[in-house]
Each structure stands twice: as structure tokens, then as C-alpha cells.
Chains A and B, each alone.
Chain A
Amino acid sequence: MVIKIMRNFFKKMFKRMFNNKKDIKLGFYGPPNAGKTSLANRICKDFTGEEIGKISKIPHETRKVQFKEKVEINYKNKKMTFKMIDTPGIATKIDYEDFLKFKMKKKEAKERAKTATQGVIESIKWLDDMEMVVIVLDATKNPYNQVNITIIGNLVARKIPVLIVANKIDLKKASLKKVENAFPEYDVVGISAKYGKNIEEFYETLFKLSKKI
């Protein structure tokens, strides 16, 4: 019994010491086209001058997990270093015909659909490796989508701190209140990743949440 307590104490102590030195793995999750890469790009550009990935109006633009190491966020004299992990959007269905609407050729659309399905699988696999997750939702869409609830449920089951971002609040149709009402137990920040609106509040909440790791 005493040995067990001692072992747990040292394990916790080493974990804390180790955690202080390494970068926090910060994941960006959410449905396709919610603005995960746009937000990750904004953060990376603000603090490293470089972007993490390409953005597009066509869903499933990010089809592979993208990283940016050693992103040091400096906010109000506080500093934290993150490993940013931008993941492909999670969906329950992918139809190549949806891409044809964007004037894509059939072959190209089929290839995009194929790689998009692989991207979803990769995103799900990566859930286990996250230390903190920002869930990016499109504030113009219905937040009660089951994909959102499934992602959050999985993070809660893994005891990973979650911050919900209601993106695209610059658009008329956007409703921050709807997102807040859908997830009353979580921190919800309304932003516009495209224009940088309310990004300060995002950093503030991110720092606050990092204490839960």
C-alpha cells in the first residue's frame, strides 16, 4: 500500500516536471468547413509568421493531419508553447457528387472523397494523443449535429480539456447564443478566424483552460 502511494506520488511528480518542459499538444477538431485551419493559421501567423495549411470553400480541404511545432503563444506577459495539430473535419458521410457542385471533375471528386474518408479515420485515431482540444464550429449552422456531440463525448471520456469556438460570427446568420445553449457546460468563445475578431478572448480562455491539463 505504502509502496503504491509512493509510486503514484513520484509518477505524478515526474509527469508534472515532464509536462512543464514539453509542448502542449493542442488539437483543432470539428466538422468540415468550420474554420479549423483558418483559426490554426491565424494563431501560427500571429506567433510564428507562417501558416499551417491551405484553406478553401470546398469541404474537406484538410485531408491529412497537419502540424506546427513550437508555437509559442505570448499573451499578456504569459507564455505557453504548443504543438498545433490541425485535423481533417469529421463527418459521418462523404459523397463525391457533393464535390461536383464546385466544378470539380468526376475523377478528382472521387479522389477527394477517398482521401477525405481516410482523413476522418486519421482524425479519430489522433484523439488519444491530444492534451487540449479546440472544437471549431460554424456558428451559422445547427450546433446539435451528432458529430459535434460525439467528438466532445470522446474528449470528455479521455479527460481532455475542451474549448468550443463558434467561428464565423462576422456572418449575419451566425448565432453565438445557439452554440452556448447547446453546450452550457463548456467555455464557448465566438470569433471570426478570417478577420481576427475576438481573438484576444480566445487566447485568454485558452490560457485559462491550459491549467486543467
Chain B
Amino acid sequence: MVKKKKSIKKIRGFSIQFLPYNEIANLNSNERIKKILKIILGNNILILQGKLKPEEEARLIGDTMVMIGHIKNFKGIELAVISGNNKNQGFFNKFKTNLINALSKGDLGAVTIIGPATIVKDIKKNPKKIELLLNK
């Protein structure tokens, strides 16, 4: 009996870009979204240290929708935020985390992953793991 050979499907090239929070900390919402979209439109998967404000996330979705149909082959984005669980932290640790976040003007315990939908098919998230599924 001939065994079927395992094969790995080829994926098209893509790059992952890391953006430290201090690069967007002093930008206003407009500038932040502009910067993020510039990276995404360059066909990069963005890993952002920290997370956007909820209204910035909504704005990012809205701006993305405007671009669909206006930018060739652009179909939108995939987005996921992984936050550290600080529910079980003691009082002192909670205070320390909040102080660090306040000083850095953001939630540094979180990571945001944003990718163009043409490259990232889906980001499956559950509390314990995150899976990035790429398009063939």
C-alpha cells in the first residue's frame, strides 16, 4: 500500500511588522489609524504592542469599510486583541499594572494583531490560544 505523502501547501509571501506602543503613544486617533492602515495596505501583518481605544477600533473598522471597493483587491482586515488576565492579581500587583499603564498611556499587557483579509483568512481566538489562519 502506497502511503500518501504529507505536503505543506505553499503560501504567498507576507511580512510581519512589530509596532511598539511608544511609536503611537503620542499620536492622536487620526494619526494612529493612518499609521496602522499604511502598514496593513503594504500587505503586512501588524503586531501592535498594547491596544487601541474602543472608539479607535470602531473607527478603524469604519475606515476599512470605506476602502473596500476603492482600493484594488482590498477586502478588509482581520483583527484580534489578546489581553493579559489581571483578574486574579493581588492589590499591589494590580496597582503596579495600572500605574505602568497610566505612565505609558496604554495597556501594555495587551497585543493587537491586524492583518489584511487577503492574507489573513481568520484569527481564531479563545481565552487560552490564538490561531492565525492564512489564505492559500
Interface residues, chain A, with chain B CB atoms under 8 Å away: 90-95, 113-114, 117-118, 120-121, 124-125, 127, 142, 144-147, 149-151, 153-154, 156-157, 181
Contact = CB atoms under 8 A, between A and B. Distances in A.
Given A142-B125, A144-B125, A144-B127, A94 B65 contact: yes
Contacts of A154: 54-55, 57-58
Contacts of A94: 65, 68, 75-76
A157 B54 CA distance: 7
Interface in B117-136: 117, 123-127
- Dominant secondary structure of chain B at its interface with chain A: mixed
Given A92-B64, A154-B54, 13 more contacts: A92-B117, A93-B117, A94-B65, A94-B68, A95-B75, A113-B68, A117-B69, A120-B65, A121-B66, A124-B61, A144-B126, A145-B125, A150-B61
Nearest to B130: A144
B54 A92 contact: no
26 contacts: A90-B61, A92-B79, A93-B117, A94-B65, A95-B117, A113-B68, A117-B65, A117-B69, A120-B62, A121-B65, A124-B59, A124-B61, A127-B58, A144-B125, A146-B57, A146-B123, A147-B61, A149-B81, A150-B79, A151-B58, A153-B54, A154-B55, A154-B57, A156-B54, A157-B53, A157-B54
Interface residues of B, number: 26
Contact of A121 (B62, B75, B78, B117): B62
A124 B57 CA distance: 11
Contacts of A149: 81
B117 A124 contact: no
A118 B66 CA distance: 8
A94 B66 CA distance: 11
A34 B26 CA distance: 38
A121 B54 CA distance: 15
A113 B61 contact: no
B80 interface: yes
B133 to A, nearest CB: 12
A92 B66 contact: no
Interface of B: 53-55, 57-59, 61-62, 64-66, 68-69, 75-81, 117, 123-127
B96 to A, nearest CB: 23
Given A124-B62, A150-B54, A93 B77 contact: yes
B126 A92 contact: no
A208 B54 CA distance: 26
A148 B66 CA distance: 20
A154 B61 CA distance: 12
Contact of A92 (B77, B125, B127): B77
Contacts of A93: 64, 68, 75-78, 117
Q: Which of the listed residues B68, B117, B127 has the most CB atoms from chain A within 10 Å of its own CB?
A: B68
A117 to B, nearest CB: 4
A92 B78 contact: yes
